[in-house]
A and B are shown apart, each in its own frame.
Chain A
């Protein structure tokens, strides 16, 4: 197929990177050739974005070496990477909303005369770059006022503007229509044929198949397989490399009892303008309900409305058959509903406070007398919960910011549990947590259900959803599109429900391991 004996543009060897307690990359390597498109695949958290950030100069590795065009280099900023001809289009839409489309595309790269911006030529270049991608918009409009698709295409155009030798694209088609994506692929083909090296990250197998010659698979921060010059292998081999373990082994959440028939939580007609439309569901005592769907389907919003953090336009909530009004988090707490939020560092914990203080924060009134906090009553109560969620006594007086992500998450859960909630809502409870602690958290969720809590888990991790849920509620564009029994459900069941159009190339949009259902 493609010749491999030419010199690589870039190679990374033995690269490792550790964030706190999570090993994001472990002795990983990758080699990128000019004129090749290199697919980078792996589950969420496999280390793809860390690898990209290292190549793009945004993150410094703890160990390892990098060679660009035969010379050893050490990058300490994106500016240095750009100088070497490395251009990264990040997954997030990072742009300046108040600046024009043209200014965003050519940021750091304006056409200028005597340091004055030549607006006419800058706009002309931007228009040309967008034109290559098949976009025709007013480039003088503020980028923030345009659609996400245009914003994403502008991000890609910014990547192209750098005249790079290596272009890295991280999930570039998330907000694009099929037609726009096809246009992009044609441009990428042209660039590749002209000798540019490309790295393409996507969960969508059809896209990778369409574009890539080389493939590298990452799992838990390590390179576990690569295929050079032969394109993307068949699903079986690829998924085996990515997952490397079976679903049953991963989730041995030993549940003691089956959910009762008593309905604990009933939500009827939950709507929030532009986000959620008439969402209804119920959860029984001792049941674990997983809510899943694609990004932007409204998963997190359901939970936020339920605790009154966001205001629903319409919603009826009944707890144990009794209708309760929830307009703010205090009322939710009153009704026995606790939320473990998505962002533990910003929404769940106060970083500088100790574990004990964090866990007891919402409940301090309980141990106070005339405005004085009675620590001798508080500490045993907190300690009991902390043990329950698996925190070691040595951590009780440690500021939470010094703990690992897993222990922080346990503290957030402990904080919710201390209120003896009848209903506990968990938003992405294991994101960014290493595998061993994930197990503990699954076991903990199982115990909570066994004790009679109604548990709602929002997760984008397919394996997690399938592994712990009694029932799975699938959302698409803010609406409930199905509710399936957790027992015997498969990824393709969920995918079929969440995808707007399965036949298109965009089919594999959720988990990395979701491809089985799409081909």
Chain B
């Protein structure tokens, strides 16, 4: 993740000889934020090195292609999730996984009109669910957690109802092309994901609305007092999140040439995990899509490595959870002054001790059958 300040600083040569050269505090801040922001990059590198050591099949173009292709679906919804979480006030979108399924089914119903019909159907359906979420949260002033929890169930229901519970075959040559072809050497789904990441990054770092989004999530009052339409902006973000879920549905459908109401189950939680691992604060105002991308990759590669190492697939759930805990533990800071950090660290130590005890019990007493 690249911090806003470094970006701004390169864009802003300091004018005037009398300009205070970087105040020491300012510099320290910038460095601290850079460290925190790119904190997970070394972790990603470490994961890749470990992968290489574990299996010679890991660091191959073919393996990367496969992993990244599958990951692009979760990746897309993680970008939307990042935007919503950044906007603060408890923003979260639990519905995206179900919306991917519902969008895919809706798109499939329009597949008769060809590729355009399928894509448009998916995107419109995704944006529609986003709009419902956004209206509930901003105009209705309901809790984002509750609203999106409800639409999560609703969207899943819509997917099952419209598909009758069986996967709908989407037989479009254009679609299978998306799933199988490459742009230069990058598979199209991966290219789509990367494009969205770049667009979102540019949006957050360089556009007026992007900068204002950090203000909305950081100190809503300051944004409101500056005349920024806080509610409307949040509404748009939910629509964007839904739209990205629709786009994710297009990619997911392209892999199997069928739209399944069971698809993308639990993806919303993977997306939230990726956002958190990527260093975005759940309280809003701090974070980036680059961080989220790193988070997505860490989780994806870890799963891949465990597969290659023939680790029980069920273990992957456990390890994913541990990654999230480890990532948020790294962010731990002291609170309440004297001895606060120490207290916090002992507390974390206690948690890990409990986890280790649990692991020992699991491995040695309960042993899998």
Complex contact B215–A138 (CB within 8 A): no
Please measure, in the bound complex, the distance between the C-alpha atom of A110 and the C-alpha atom of B205, giving whole angstroms. Answer: 13
Complex contact B19–A136 (CB within 8 A): yes
- Give chain B interface residues in 303-356, CB to chain A under 8 Å: 336-340
Q: Report the minimum CB–CB distance from B35 to chain A (whole Å).
A: 14
Contacts of A145 in B (CB 8 A): 23, 25-26, 28-29
Complex contact A142–B225 (CB within 8 A): no
Contacts of A137 in B (CB 8 A): 20, 23
Complex contact B26–A146 (CB within 8 A): yes
Complex contact A141–B23 (CB within 8 A): yes
Q: Is A488 an interface residue (CB 8 A)?
A: no
Please measure, in the bound complex, the distance between the C-alpha atom of A151 and the C-alpha atom of B309, giving whole angstroms. Answer: 54
Complex contact A94–B23 (CB within 8 A): no
Q: Annotate B221-238 by CB proximity to A: 1 below 8 A, 0 otherwise.
A: 111111111000000000
A56, A123, A142, A158: the one within 8 Å of B12 (CB): A123
Complex contact B226–A311 (CB within 8 A): no
Complex contact A313–B25 (CB within 8 A): no
Please measure, in the bound complex, the distance between the C-alpha atom of A103 and the C-alpha atom of B228, giving whole angstroms. Answer: 13
Instruction: Give the contact stretch, choosing among A21-29, A113-121, A261-269.
Output: A113-121
- Give chain A interface residues in 68-119, CB to chain B under 8 Å: 77-79, 82-83, 88, 90, 94-100, 102-104, 107-110, 112, 115-117, 119
B residues contacting the other copy or chain, number (CB 8 A): 49
Q: Is B214 an interface residue (CB 8 A)?
A: yes
Contacts of A124 in B (CB 8 A): 15
Contacts of A120 in B (CB 8 A): 11-13
Complex contact A99–B339 (CB within 8 A): no
Please measure, in the bound complex, the distance between the C-alpha atom of A90 and the C-alpha atom of B225, giving whole angstroms. Answer: 9
Q: List 19 A-B contacts (CB under 8 A).
A: A78-B226, A88-B225, A97-B219, A99-B4, A108-B226, A109-B227, A110-B211, A110-B212, A112-B207, A117-B208, A119-B8, A136-B18, A138-B21, A138-B23, A141-B22, A142-B26, A145-B25, A146-B25, A311-B336
- Report the number of A-B residue pairs with Cβ-Cβ less than 8 Å: 146
Are A103 and B211 also in contact (CB < 8 A) when A98-B286, A119-B8, A137-B20 are?
yes
Q: Is A273 an interface residue (CB 8 A)?
A: yes
Complex contact A141–B30 (CB within 8 A): yes
Please measure, in the bound complex, the distance between the C-alpha atom of A146 and the C-alpha atom of B22, giving whole angstroms. Answer: 11
Nearest A residue to B26 via CB reads: A141
Complex contact B218–A273 (CB within 8 A): no
A98, A119, A158: the one within 8 Å of B11 (CB): A119
Q: Is A444 an interface residue (CB 8 A)?
A: no
Q: Is A272 an interface residue (CB 8 A)?
A: yes
Nearest B residue to A305 via CB reads: B337
Please measure, in the bound complex, the distance between the C-alpha atom of A137 and the C-alpha atom of B22, giving whole angstroms. Answer: 8
Complex contact A146–B23 (CB within 8 A): yes
Q: Is B209 an interface residue (CB 8 A)?
A: yes
Are A116 and B26 also in contact (CB < 8 A) when A96-B214, A96-B215, A140-B12 are?
no
Contacts of A318 in B (CB 8 A): none
Q: Annotate B1-16 by CB proximity to A: 1 below 8 A, 0 otherwise.
A: 0001100110111111
Complex contact A96–B219 (CB within 8 A): yes
Q: Is B91 an interface residue (CB 8 A)?
A: no
Nearest B residue to A80 via CB reads: B227
Q: Report the minimum CB–CB distance from A58 to chain B (whole Å).
A: 7
Complex contact B339–A311 (CB within 8 A): yes
Please measure, in the bound complex, the distance between the C-alpha atom of A120 and the C-alpha atom of B13, giving whole angstroms. Answer: 8
Are A311 and B340 also in contact (CB < 8 A) when A138-B14, A141-B22, A142-B5 are?
yes
- Give chain B interface residues in 273-292, CB to chain A under 8 Å: 285-286
Nearest A residue to B214 via CB reads: A99
Please measure, in the bound complex, the distance between the C-alpha atom of A120 and the C-alpha atom of B15, giving whole angstroms. Answer: 10
Complex contact B222–A98 (CB within 8 A): no
Please measure, in the bound complex, the distance between the C-alpha atom of A108 and the C-alpha atom of B207, giving whole angstroms. Answer: 12
Contacts of B16 in A (CB 8 A): 127
Q: Is A171 an interface residue (CB 8 A)?
A: no
Q: Report the minimum CB–CB distance from A435 to chain B (whole Å).
A: 30
